[in-house]
Amino acid sequence: MKTKKLLLGDEAFALGAIDAGLSGAYAYPGTPSTEILEYVQSSPLARERKIHSHWSSNEKTAMEEALGMSFCGKRAIVSMKHVGLNVAADPFVNSAMTGANGGLIVVAADDPSMHSSQNEQDSRFYAKFALIPTLEPCDQQEAYDMARYGFELSESMKIPVLLRLVTRLSHSRAVVETETEPMPENSLSYPANPRQWVLMPANSRVRYRQLLADRDNMEALSESSPFNRIVPGTDRRLGIIASGIAYNYVQEAFGGKCPFPLLKISQYPVPRALVDELVGMCDAILVAEEGQPFIEDMLRGLLDRGPKVYGKIDHLIPTDGELTPDSVAAAVATLLPDFDRLRPAAGRRAQNVTSRPPALCQGCGHRDVYAALNAALEGFESPKVFGDIGCYTLGFLSPFNAIDTCVDMGASITMAKGAADAGQHPAVAIIGDSTFTHSGMTGLLDAVNENSPVTVIISDNLTTGMTGGQDSQGTGKLEAICLGLGVDPAHLHTIDSLPKKFDDMKALFTAEMSYDGLSVIIARRECIQTARRHAKAKSK
Amino acid sequence: MKTDIILAGVGGQGILSIATILGEAALRRNLYLKQAEVHGMSQRGGDVMSCLRLSSDPIASDLIPSGKVDLIISLEPMEALRYVHLLVPEGRVITSTEPFVNIPDYPDIEAVMAELAALPRVVTLPAEAIAREVASPRSSNMALLGASAPYIGLPVDVLEDSIAAVFGAKGEKIVADNLAAFRAGLEYTQSH
């Protein structure tokens, strides 16, 4: 029996995993992946089965926890945004070496166009060099179906599987047919070859040879995958390769009746035999893929002496920003003049429109921190403020113009320390509570060990704000963490980030920036969004 | 049946509630639907939009191609203008006239309204004022949905049932307020 549900791509995958016997979901929040774990948390079946769904401190801990569950034979998922895979890269790459026991799916949600991210990296590259197979659903139904398929692939090949999502699938809803009978969970069982899970050189050399041999089998599985296929076409002047969501854009351009032979790729390694078959029947190839030219680059190779290949490398399709139905249609229209009717028909833009950038909410404590910080900084000659990832990155924008850097989770403290090492004074780090426990604590230990002249401000709003208010792992523990890492109690302060505390905050910031050593100031006020939600829940 | 809609507004205004109602209605009518939205940083007071596609046939793309948008439903007048170049030539705009000014360089509102009025098919309504009169200003998104109802391609009673279902968990008063705002918006369109 099937039932129909309206689901985001993220939710469709999460439900697919639950219905396929999931035992543990692990994640750190990150747009556009957050709704996967949130869906598991809200699922009645997941609650009934006690499926693990607590947030982890960061993507690396999440990945390792999921790997531990897989070691014990149970099915696990771990989800993150694309840059989260950088944080989890060490266990991710090495999980190909240990292999998986229970089915393990690693979800990376890429964010081309950088709607809410600092870069456009394409997660498929990670899986390629780690020798891990990849699934890339084209729609919400495939996202649902690939959970079960991915677990089976993972268990049959004894290796984790990467599932790549993109913003326009993660955050788009469609009607999905779902199973009414969920599968049972796996019972506890241990790996057949326990040596493989101890990655010391003697074991790893043996395992790596096996992994390289398995890669050929993975390619064969891609070639027979139900998600990869050639859709026949009669116009052989062009063959189109479309991966993941790009397949939909090709179908959109031709109203579901593509006249050209079309290779749909949703499982990797790239199915070489299918590519060869397509190339053999067409005069030229157009590659449509979301993200970087991953397949296209393989087709062209270094010398590009094979069949004519069009795509992003020749800028026929824009190299940056997300793929759109417009960019795919325009590419075909440019290549073949008789398809000029496909050229997107945008009208004239309106004149009375200005940009409306996001901003910190009215009533947000980060605002008060920045107001006091800016006032305090006026007393110094050339202060530098090292920012971090979260709502407070918006402090870069007017009216605050308060931060000089924002790079990756936790980099505020470590960059401020490096700057202090270089002679910068004052060197200020501003970091949120969730980002601090994600990746700030280890950097703070470096600063403690050298008593670096750095002023760290932890702007604690008691939640993970930017992604919608998920539990923050350090709530109630920040002072103890700082003291435990060795921060001098005389230079550890807590203050409420309220408008009426402006003078106190300014004075505190000024005093600590004048101190020639490490200080930590925890400026605390609950996120206005979660405070409203809590007030509403209380009044019910 | 096929209607391609852009829902527009400012983060926090409530365009996603409109999308939820239309999603519920699509399920009830056994229609295909795709609805793409953006979460995260852009929700913090920035401009937000959602592509919502309804069809009796399968839908390929989650994004609507340029020049194929049938209807813009906007909770804010300048935000409606942001997407008019994507309309089909005979496309329609339903927008609230009440500006949401959270930027220093918001254009002259008279010029915004004049540019809207020059469009071939446009319904402008004071959605918040209408909602306040019959229910509460919080239901202004439902007043706007009511004003758009004749152009969506879904029967009014299905939309009303969907409003009742989606807000049902929040209690009878909330359902009644939202239905009242929806009907007032619908009446406004029919009489203007």
- Options 3.40.50.300, 3.40.50.970, 2.40.40.20, 3.40.640.10; which CATH number does A2-223 get? 3.40.50.970
Domains of chain A, residue spans = 2-223, 229-342, 365-532
In chain B, the residue whose alpha carbon lies closest to the alpha carbon of A393 is: B41
- Asked if the C-beta of B111 comes within 8 angstroms of chain A's C-beta atoms, the answer is yes
For the segment A56-82, the average pLDDT, to the nearest whole number, is: 98
For the segment A455-459, the average pLDDT, to the nearest whole number, is: 98
- Which CATH number characterizes residue B124's domain? 3.40.920.10
Indicate the angle between helix axes B15-28 and B140-148, nearest 10 degrees: 50
- What ipTM does this complex have? 0.94
- pLDDT one-digit tens code per residue, A408-424: 999 999 999 999 999 99
**Which chain A residues are closer than 8 Å to B60 by Cβ?**
248-249, 251-252, 256
**Which chain A residues are closer than 8 Å to B42 by Cβ?**
115-116, 358
A104: β partners: A76
Domain A229-342 has CATH 3.40.50.920: yes
**Which chain B residues are closer than 8 Å to A81 by Cβ?**
none
**Which chain B residues are closer than 8 Å to A352 by Cβ?**
78, 81, 107-108, 111-112, 115
pTM over 0.90: yes
* Buried-state track A349-367, b at ≥16 Cβ within 10 A, e below 16: ebebbeebbbbbbeebbbb
Show the DSSP H helices in A362-477 as ranges.
Answer: 365-377, 411-421, 433-435, 441-449
Say if the Cβ atoms of A361 and B45 lie within 8 Å.
yes
Instruction: State the pairing for strand pair A427-432/A384-386.
Output: parallel
Say if the Cβ atoms of B47 and A355 lie within 8 Å.
yes
For the segment A349-377, the average pLDDT, to the nearest whole number, is: 95
In chain B, the residue whose alpha carbon lies closest to the alpha carbon of A174 is: B34
pLDDT of residue A346: 78
Say if the Cβ atoms of B44 and A359 lie within 8 Å.
yes
Percentage of chain A lying above the pLDDT 90 cut = 96
CB A30 within 8 A of CB A10: no
A284 residue type, one letter? A
B48: β partners: B9
**Which chain A residues are closer than 8 Å to B43 by Cβ?**
358
Say if the Cβ atoms of A357 and B81 lie within 8 Å.
no
Say if the Cβ atoms of B34 and A347 lie within 8 Å.
no
B84 Cα to chain A: minimum distance (Å):
7
* Buried-state track B44-79, b at ≥16 Cβ within 10 A, e below 16: bbbbbbbbbbbbeeebbbbbbbbbbbbbbbbbbbbb
pLDDT of residue B40: 66
Say if the Cβ atoms of B27 and A391 lie within 8 Å.
no
A2-223 and A229-342 agree in CATH topology: yes
Percentage of chain B lying above the pLDDT 90 cut = 90
Say if the Cβ atoms of B66 and A344 lie within 8 Å.
yes
When comparing pLDDT for B13 and A289, which is higher? A289
Say if the Cβ atoms of B36 and A168 lie within 8 Å.
yes
Q: Which of B15, B44, B86 to mutate to test the interface with A (most CBs of A within 10 A)?
A: B44
pLDDT of residue A540: 64
pLDDT beyond 70 at A205: yes
Which structural domain, as residue segments, surrounds residue B76? 2-191
How far CA A272 is from CA of A155, A212, A263, A298, A306, in Å, comes to 23, 17, 11, 10, 14
Say if the Cβ atoms of B44 and A249 lie within 8 Å.
no
pLDDT of residue A72: 98
- Options 3.30.1360.170, 3.20.20.60, 3.40.50.970, 3.40.50.170; which CATH number does A365-532 get? 3.40.50.970
pLDDT of residue A347: 87
Say if the Cβ atoms of A116 and B23 lie within 8 Å.
no
Category of A401 on φ-ψ map: left (φ > 0), alpha (ψ -120 to 50) or beta: left
B98 Cα to chain A: minimum distance (Å):
15
Distance, CA of A511 to CA of A500 (rounded, Å): 19
pLDDT of residue B13: 87
pLDDT of residue A508: 98
- pLDDT one-digit tens code per residue, A469-513: 999 999 999 999 999 999 999 999 999 999 999 999 999 999 999
Q: Which of B39, B75, B86 to mutate to test the interface with A (most CBs of A within 10 A)?
A: B39
Is A183 strand, coil or helix? coil
pLDDT beyond 90 at A255: yes
CB B93 within 8 A of CB B121: yes
- pLDDT one-digit tens code per residue, A87-141: 999 999 999 999 999 999 999 999 999 988 999 999 999 999 999 999 999 999 9
The upper half-sphere exposure of residue A267, i.e. CA atoms within 13 Å in the direction of its Cβ, equals 23
**Which chain A residues are closer than 8 Å to B111 by Cβ?**
351-352
Confidence of residue B41 (pLDDT cuts 50, 70, 90): low
CB-closest option in B27, B41, B65 to A329: B65
- Asked if the C-beta of A66 comes within 8 angstroms of chain B's C-beta atoms, the answer is no
Say if the Cβ atoms of B61 and A355 lie within 8 Å.
no
CB atoms within 10 A of CB A433: 26
R_g of chain B computed on alpha carbons: 16
Say if the Cβ atoms of A358 and B45 lie within 8 Å.
yes
For the segment A360-388, the average pLDDT, to the nearest whole number, is: 96
- Asked if the C-beta of B48 comes within 8 angstroms of chain A's C-beta atoms, the answer is no
pLDDT beyond 90 at A208: yes
For the segment B174-185, the average pLDDT, to the nearest whole number, is: 97
- Asked if the C-beta of A325 comes within 8 angstroms of chain B's C-beta atoms, the answer is yes
B35 Cα to chain A: minimum distance (Å):
5
Say if the Cβ atoms of A175 and B65 lie within 8 Å.
no
- Asked if the C-beta of A468 comes within 8 angstroms of chain B's C-beta atoms, the answer is yes
**Range with lowest mean pLDDT among A96-100, B39-43, B88-92:** B39-43
Instruction: State the pairing for strand pair B87-96/B122-125.
Output: parallel
Helix (H) or strand (E) holding A480: helix A478-485
Q: Which of A31, A176, A352, A364 to mutate to test the interface with B (most CBs of B within 10 A)?
A: A352
- Asked if the C-beta of A530 comes within 8 angstroms of chain B's C-beta atoms, the answer is no
For the segment B117-142, the average pLDDT, to the nearest whole number, is: 95
pLDDT of residue A539: 76
- Strands (E) in A414-515, as ranges, are 427-432, 454-460, 492-496
Helix (H) or strand (E) holding A294: helix A294-300
Total domains, chain B: 1
Between positions 97 and 136 of A, the ones with CB within 8 A of B are 115-116
For the segment B159-177, the average pLDDT, to the nearest whole number, is: 95
For the segment A237-265, the average pLDDT, to the nearest whole number, is: 97
The mean of the pLDDT values for chain B is: 94
For the segment A400-408, the average pLDDT, to the nearest whole number, is: 97
Between positions 155 and 174 of B, the ones with CB within 8 A of A are none
Say if the Cβ atoms of A354 and B86 lie within 8 Å.
no
The upper half-sphere exposure of residue A533, i.e. CA atoms within 13 Å in the direction of its Cβ, equals 10
Show the DSSP H helices in A324-477 as ranges.
Answer: 325-335, 365-377, 411-421, 433-435, 441-449
For the segment A304-325, the average pLDDT, to the nearest whole number, is: 96
For the segment A34-57, the average pLDDT, to the nearest whole number, is: 98
pLDDT of residue B76: 97
